[in-house]
Structure 1
């Protein structure tokens, strides 16, 4: 076993002893943190549902500056030169000076819209060749000049666009809540092809909530119609799909060593599939949802769960090797779960009081944030309002 720095051993969901990474620092915001951290040079950039965008020292967690927007920030950030960009629930895309945290330009969409209480994320801007691509709840994908914030083109879909764009040199790909995955020319926004998800009796639209990845001319993404899809990037034709009966697949999959890794919503599982044909290599049971994407470090796949725990599993077997509990999880886990890690008898996830149940779940310090790994440290946000930095070695 590698010489990871550990504080102590604890018992995982499987009943096996697992190791816990060392906490390096944590920073408390005033709202839930769903965004993926952005590491750039010596800083960590991240937004919170408190409507504030933060620049932190990545080594210490000390605040360098903060910027107050007019809406909750469920968007991850991107860098373009000396600008850091992010979207807000106020319908704006902000470009801030990385040194001062002051706005250089602000682009306003037609306004944000949320599908339901499980529509947690906003589209994150992606910068390519001096152009910012960004989706909005108004149903558009926007292409914006990164230098001055002026609109270059926009494309209207038939639904909310909260997925992150996927951009190659000449094509931008985007999924929408209309259940269609689009391929557009990056320079003009002209349609190249589109693919409609299969849909399900309960979710006929097959909404696409999060972003896609591309690997060797194949695109992979999940949908609310219970499917994960593999498409030919050139033609948009389906290669294969895997249906997880009874569960949305929200998380953008991770491609690693020939396989795909992702978690599910309502079946509470984490999967490893073979990329070439979608064959299941392994899956492990959890006791809550996974919406954030996974990250890989050597032979370990790291991902967060709504139960407030960050897991590190062996990429080949799925064996849980590491586990870290957020502060919210440590404080409130027993209010939702019994000692056997099953729901308490008085807790009903989707009952008549589902709104209250969702609040209770988030009190666990749910990890919807996709972790980022750099130099043997892993960074992520949590619903307990904190940003965490852990040492992996």
Structure 2
């Protein structure tokens, strides 16, 4: 298994419009001019909307992940151990299944009529489960040795559940969505013990990260296509695959002033496209990619930021700093707008300029990525509520 490092592979890439440029794997000082700061700007609407623009459901247990939205229902899995479906239009409970719960929060995914959940159950067993989206009835369930972590990814008839590897070396289960049978498992070679940090899917490839290593796996067989590892960062936080590029959020090595917090790899071969210490922030906790921009939730010196980075040359265009040390969790990008929670607010930022288009007020700290549909936005909060807001931007 090859291990591609930024020192081994330098790639000439023509990602920009016009003449192709060379983006070196070393950190580029040309990208270090100050980004446009938007933290104190007034939103274009000059207003903070309240819950009256939609509805609020709760309180239930603590929310530590995003809802799933499809077919007129919002699915939530708080840590009170009950899986719930809420009507998108009215905000009323459609069904609940209190036997579907785990001791901790449920990271869930909806796909093709089913809700996929992994977690530790009340009998101290770890299970990978799927439930019927319309009724909440159990569809398939299997026992596994390791505790599921992160939200499962579902694609082309397979549910991929990342796990920690305390009880066995396995860090990923691939489960057939029709039969519930395991198609294959993956154990990272020579990786440390702990929770799998990130997973993403793109065009028949599954990307998974643990410790300092990223693997690209064939989605059908689990065979390793390539792997990447380096020692110039301390840990991997998140993955986002878009347009044949895998963007990686990193925690910087504090002993190296040029240690990166964002890495861009070619999805086909793992070659490095660029590698940068954006804003010199300590880590990039979450990354969301679009055609032109990468949006990163950053942390540094007790403050949280949302940073916009040009994808073709790693130039930092604008940055939002949350007030009073409020947490900026995952973001969602749609139609040229990026949505992110910060404290008890969710804001829509213009993706190109960072200008605030609209801000909505929540009951508590936003947690997980907002789910954005054509006409609405759904946000979970840590105090046990799910909020629906009309976009009307």
TM-score, length-scaled by structure 1: 0.77
Q: Deviations over 1:110-146 (max 9, x none)?
A: 2328xxxxxxxx3222222211111012351111111
For residue 312 of structure 2, what is the aligned residue in structure 1? 276
Deviation at 1:273, TM superposition (A): 0.6
Alignment of 1:60-71 (within 5 A): 60-68=90-98, 69-71=101-103
Whether the aligned pair in 1 keeps the contact of 2:50 and 2:362 (CA below 8 Å) is no
User: Is residue 183 of structure 1 aligned with residue 213 of structure 2?
Assistant: no
Match of 1:303 among 330, 337, 340: 340
Asked if the contact 2:261/2:281 (under 8 Å) is kept, the reply is no
Answer yes or no: is 1:75 the counterpart of 2:107: yes
The aligned counterpart of 2:178 is 147
Aligned residues: 327
Counterpart of 1:49 in structure 2 is 79
2:351 is aligned to 315
- Structure with bigger strand share is 2
1:87 to 113, 118, 134: 118
Q: Give RMSD over aligned pairs.
A: 2.3
Aligned pairs for 1:165-244 (under 5 A) are 165-176=199-210, 178-200=211-233, 204=234, 206=235, 208-210=236-238, 212-225=239-252, 227-244=261-278
Q: Partners in 2 of 1:112 and 1:199 — Cα distance? A: 29
* Conserved? CA contact 1:254–1:261, under 8 Å: yes
Is 1:392 matched up with 2:391?
Answer: yes
Q: Does 1:252 align with 2:287?
A: yes
Q: Secondary structure at the match of 1:183?
A: strand
Q: In structure 2, what is the equivalent of residue 127 of structure 1?
A: 154
1:286 aligns with 2:322: yes
Unaligned 5+ segments in structure 1 are: 1-11, 114-121, 328-364
SS class of match (1:165): strand
Counterpart pick for 2:40 among 6, 14, 33: 14
For residues 146 and 384 of structure 1, the distance between their equivalents in structure 2, rounded to whole angstroms, comes to: 32
TM-score, normalised by the number of residues in structure 2: 0.77
Q: Distance in 2 between matches of 1:188 and 1:299?
A: 36
**1:309-360 deviations in whole A, cap 9, x for unaligned?**
2122222221233222322xxxxxxxxxxxxxxxxxxxxxxxxxxxxxxxxx
Over residues 31-70 of structure 1, what are the superposed CA-to-partner deviations in whole Å (9 max), with x where a residue is unaligned? Answer: 2212222111111112112222211101111111112323
Rate the CA distance shift 1:382–1:216 in 2: closer, same or farther, 3 A. Answer: same
Change (3 A) 1:289 1:135: farther
Alpha-carbon distance in structure 1 between the residues aligned to 2:39 and 2:287: 24
In the alignment, the residues of structure 1 paired with residue 195 and residue 177 of structure 2 have an alpha-carbon distance, to the nearest angstrom, of: 20
1:98 and 1:164 mapped to 2: Cα distance?
Answer: 25
Which gives a bigger RCO, structure 1 or 2 (Cα 8 Å, sep 6+)?
Answer: 2
User: Contact (CA 8 Å) 2:371, 2:378: kept in 1 or not?
Assistant: yes
- State the Cα distance separating 1:289 from its structure 2 match: 5.5
